[in-house]
Amino acid sequence: MNTDKNKKLEEILSSLDGSRRAAVPGFFYTRLKARMEKGLEPVKQSWVLRPAFAFSALVVVLLVNAAVILKGDAAKENTVADTENFQSLAAEYRLNDNNNAILFDINQDK
Partner 1 sequence: MAFKYLVDNYQDRVFNTAIGIVQNAEDAQDVAQEVFIQVYRSIHNFKGEAKLSTWLYRIATTRALDLLRSRKSKKRFGFMQRLFGEANEPLHELPDFNHPGIALDRKENAAKLFKAISQLPDNQKTAFTLHKLEDLSYQEISEVMQTSVPAVESLMHRAKQNLRKILEKETD
Binding footprint of partner 1 on the chain (CB under 8 A): 5, 8-9, 11-13, 15-25, 28-29, 31-32, 35-36, 41, 50-53, 55-56
- Count the alpha carbons within 13 Å of 2 in the hemisphere toward its beta carbon: 0
**SS3 category, 95:** coil
User: 19 or 98, CB closer to partner 1?
Assistant: 19
Nearer to partner 1, 10 or 84 (CB): 10
CA distance 100 to 98: 5
Distance from the first to the final alpha carbon of the chain: 113
Task: Give the amino acid at 55.
Answer: F
**Least Å distance between CB 69 and partner 1?**
23
CB of 43 to partner 1, least distance (A): 13
- Minimum CB separation of residue 3 from partner 1 in Å reads 14
